[in-house]
Amino acid sequence: MSPLAVVVVNWNGRDVLSDCFRSLQDENYPDLHVIMVDNGSTDDSVAYTRKHHRHVEILEAGRNLRWAAGNNLALMHLRRAGFRGCVLLLNNDTIVPEGSLRALVKGFQASPAAWAATPRICYADDPSRAWYDGGVIGRWSGWVKHAGIRRVAGDLSLQPRFVDYGTGCALLLGPVALERVGLLDEGFFFYGEDADYSIRIRARGGRIIHVPRALVLHKVSVSVGEYSPLKMWMRSRSHVKLLRKHWPWWSWPLLAVSQAAYLTGHAAYHLWQGRPAVALAVWEGALDELRGSPHPE
């Protein structure tokens, strides 16, 4: 079985680290290397990890590099160390049930066309329901969404299949992807980096295999809140950046119509749910990216 490095980017995530690291240690994967990239946490994340999870290598960034640059720091560190194997990018607010790492790597290795792989991801507070069961990207609409979200996991197929994109919550990158696609795009402020990387994999001839028998539990949106205005602003802004990067100019007339419909429907949903600030953030994020407004740090 391939050597495996798990990279966990952390920013003030002390409260969720224990479950994540303990689950990885309990896996007993034969050749496992766990790295935590700490993005300048002001809580005791580093001290806690150093004391209670000595198997975890810690890279201290010294400041908040955010998700893409934090992962890149670890990827470059592994490259310099001569690591030859798979790398799993894993959120700190996750739990990996026993056997899932093995199932994910085996599923990946069983598909020679695959450059990356994803597990099924369920809600940690409701493991019977899926949060991610494959990623879909509309070629003409530009819509990016999770397949199977909120559906009963037992009703979903367990057969591996190729998908359009893998979520950065738990994304396994094989040696070919790391060599030919390289690092994550740090131009994405937050969100969109995983879809961008997935599109780059497919543009270079690779595939992404979804392995439903591998499972990860996710404490959804612990860092920014599931329905916070900040989250919606960042998602909308990053999505527009993704479209501008990968969709050709001649597709934009149709794309503009589909995206306007999406943003309007998304904002209307939050208004109906009594979240006017979130509804406004949906549009503000998209418009701020089109205007080129600076990102607040």
What is the Cα 12 distance to its own chain's centre?
A: 18
Does 264 reside within a domain? yes
pLDDT reported for residue 297 = 63
Domain ends where: 176, 196, 218?
A: 218
Sequential pLDDT tens for the chain (297 residues) = 789 999 999 999 999 999 999 999 988 888 999 999 999 999 999 999 999 999 999 999 999 999 999 999 999 999 999 999 999 999 999 999 999 999 999 999 999 999 999 999 999 999 999 999 999 998 888 889 999 999 999 999 999 999 999 999 999 999 999 999 999 999 988 889 999 999 999 999 999 999 999 999 999 865 555 678 888 998 999 999 999 999 998 888 888 899 889 889 889 989 998 999 999 998 998 898 888 877 766
Q: 209 and 233 share a domain?
A: no
pLDDT of residue 141: 87
Task: Enumerate long-range contacts of 245-252, CB under 8 Å, 24 or more apart.
Answer: 245/196, 246/196, 246/199, 247/142, 251/140
Residue 223 counted as domain residue: no
pTM assigned to the model? 0.93
Alpha helix ranges (H) inside the chain: 14-27, 45-52, 66-80, 100-109, 175-180, 193-203, 229-246, 252-272, 276-291
Within the chain, what is the greatest distance between any pair of CA atoms? 56
For the chain, what is the domain count?
2
Whether 203 is covered by a domain: the verdict is yes
Give the pairing of strands 56-60 and 32-38: parallel
CA–CA distance, 173 with 110 (Å, rounded to integer)? 14
d(CA 112, CA 122) in angstroms, rounded, equals 27
Domain span holding position 261 = 229-291
Query: How far is the first Cα of the chain from the last one, in angstroms, to the nearest whole number?
Result: 42
The pLDDT score that the predictor gives to residue 23 is 96
In a domain, 224, yes or no: no
Residue after which a domain boundary falls, among 183, 218, 253: 218
| Residue 213, burial from CB neighbour count under 10 angstroms (0-12, 13-18, 19+) | middle
Residues 154 and 52 both lie in one domain: yes
Say if residues 91 and 168 touch (Cβ distance below 8 Å): yes
Q: Which residues pair with 88 in a beta bridge?
A: 6, 172
pLDDT of residue 59: 98
pLDDT at 116: 98
pLDDT at 159: 97
Domain end point (choices 218, 243, 266): 218
Same domain for 245 and 213, yes or no, is no
* Residue 174 CB neighbour total at 10 angstroms: 22
Q: Has residue 137 been placed in a domain?
A: yes
CA–CA separation, 165 vs 154, rounded Å?
A: 22
